[in-house]
Structure 1
């Protein structure tokens, strides 16, 4: 279970749909980018919704989503990191856009997933997705971190102190920028989000 300021991230159809839609779209973009030999430094993927994390490689974005999903569905209680909060925000925003732009494609994607939905995929889904992360007791610190990059160190520390942003939590975001490969256990962390066949496909893509 994943908690944000002691409030658990709801285990609902919306959460599942947001994570599944964002994973699928990012994976498909990665496949297309490799097929057409696009610039490896081109920014794409669901985490581009977060300015500070827009340059994170797509395979690492998928790994981060898998890690957050696993913490969300496991029995142990985990306090959400800034990375978790960023993943949740970006997943909801990405899924909301998909619901607005191509609801039929999203409905088909969810129909092929390992979980049966209680909620019908219909009009209003985009607003419900956005409300999911807006309803969480989250300060959105991950959205303002990029503002500190061009500031002198002392000024950046002062602003972080004023905003009550802990250095340790910020360091996790910087660490992500240095990652290039997925971590061991990637496939097992996707259980419940992807089918076995989809997991095998994802493993093949991120391993290429």
Structure 2
């Protein structure tokens, strides 16, 4: 698979973007039912709010802005707690966790995935020494909102994990430059990442 990149052959500089997709795996080791969400307060500060089975397991972590500045720092903080852990995914160590979109996370087996989505590419372009780019607004939170049909359309049958697997298998025979899955399901995202890596 190919990632966006920029190159200055005269100086020998090549910059490659990080992969789209999962940036941090959040792990709950406690015995309760975990919940987590990313939110933005009235002053624009992002928060990662974690709740476990007991009050001492709850955390309100400032991310980005005046809070934790990198995904690696966030993982280190979480790994230092008694019941929470984290693993940085796909070279997103230095990226700003303030780019995580607002919303509740879905846990499966005590694990949830935080995804930077297009924010990873925006952060990469902003930090580039070869490209001068600035985001002009908008968010990528609407990317998982489902299909939009014109008058008379319908949603059709629900898409299954098998449907995603069949689609990715079909792509193996094609010259594809990018794969985007329209599902927040961690299993589907992991399947797409594995497809692109191999």
Structure 1 length as normaliser, TM-score?
0.24
Specify which structure has the higher proportion of strand. Answer: 2
> Relative contact order: is structure 1 or structure 2 higher (C-alpha 8 Å, sep ≥ 6)?
1
Specify which structure has the higher proportion of helix. Answer: 1
Structure 2 length as normaliser, TM-score?
0.24
